[in-house]
Structure 1
């Protein structure tokens, strides 16, 4: 049985982020229990943004971040979501450098949807397989021709980086991470907690 070690999870949010890209993994990770049947959380999950100002998602729900890039605590797991905002974020050297630095300190770095573009920009996918939203597969192959970009898959586990395809696939990816870190039983227990019937 895999030990239920406590970990922290940082989820980056930015203007025009895809809501479910970060909300799905947030719900999964925050639903992992230290002891089955209790409300004691095993993972400390938090959002992080450039400032404490409200962040307008793509839909445009507004979210208040919990930490800034400068003030966030250590994260064992880093989640980089996607959305239209990645098209602007990818041209921010300071943000890409922050992602690279945080990834180096994390046990595991993950992406949802076009968040994988930000990882690729920072060189975090060099020599690794990855995926992204189906509508952005060819764009990713064109912009990063050296990458093995897989299609028709919910997630790709490349060791220290796990990427997922679009939007709802982030839920599957997060459950895969839970299974990898804590075992299939805990992942199944978490899927039941959130009534997600598509996880096997």
Structure 2
């Protein structure tokens, strides 16, 4: 008959609770959802406590990326999970609307048309205003209705932004007088001509002057938008937008190789 070792049996009973105490937290940790698996996009966002409105001016011949690059960034703020904001109460939604002289279809420089949600006469109150550039901006420099509307709205808006030679329109309306600003480097001379009182900055991806922010050509509007969003709502919010759009933004406003290529600076 096999001899039963009472001491070994007792030792095993004593060790078992210790083993379980150590194993249970580890099992629980395994079952906890890793941070990398937390919801990255809020596909069905609830209404945010704070809602801002950004109006994007469009006109015949506007540059598509000037308008749609920034709209992509601002329009996706609503999909950022509350945890990124630091709590549900801190979430902000930015409503994006398009505005033209008259409501309806407006052809871009590239051809495709965009529907203007509002005309000058019925446009809603704006928190932010974005003015894209494009070949069509040249004709708008002589349009008093457009310049008057810009002047009136800029005076009532928290923040005015321009992309490319959209700055020409702001300059022609007097909005950039005595302010630092930049614009497209390839067409620098023509783009800056409407603003003799503007402190034009030749080498800049964008220039942030507080309530007025201007950017260089076309794609620079996305860098400017992310920089402004980061200033207003935090770097984590801007970084989330970069991740969502798979866009590697230039964070240095003085980064501007195109000024060198255009012969504006050495």
Provide TM-score, normalisation by structure 2: 0.69
Distance 1:68 1:183, change over 3 A: same
Structure 1 residues not aligned, in runs of 5+: none
Q: CA deviation at 1:34?
A: 6.6
Structure 1 contact 188–199 (Cα < 8 Å) conserved: no
Equivalent residue number for residue 117 of structure 1: 168
Secondary structure of 2:213's aligned partner: strand
Residue in structure 2 matching 1:69, options 80, 95, 120 = 120
Equivalent residue number for residue 136 of structure 2: 85
Residue in structure 2 matching 1:186, options 217, 226, 237 = 237
Equivalent residue number for residue 70 of structure 2: 25
> How big is the alpha-carbon RMSD for the aligned residues of Structure 1 and Structure 2?
1.9
Distance 1:28 1:100, change over 3 A: same
Provide TM-score, normalisation by structure 1: 0.91
Equivalent residue number for residue 97 of structure 2: 46
Residue in structure 2 matching 1:36, options 60, 81, 85 = 81
Matched residue count = 196
Instruction: Provide Cα deviations, 1:61-85, integer angstroms capped at 9, x if missing partner.
Output: 1111111111111110000010011
Larger Rg computed on CA atoms: 2
| Deviation >6 Å, runs of 4+ | none
Task: Name which structure has the greater RCO, CA cutoff 8 Å, separation 6+.
Answer: 1
Structure 2 residues not aligned, in runs of 5+: 1-48, 84-90, 252-266
Equivalent residue number for residue 35 of structure 2: none
Secondary structure of 1:33's aligned partner: helix
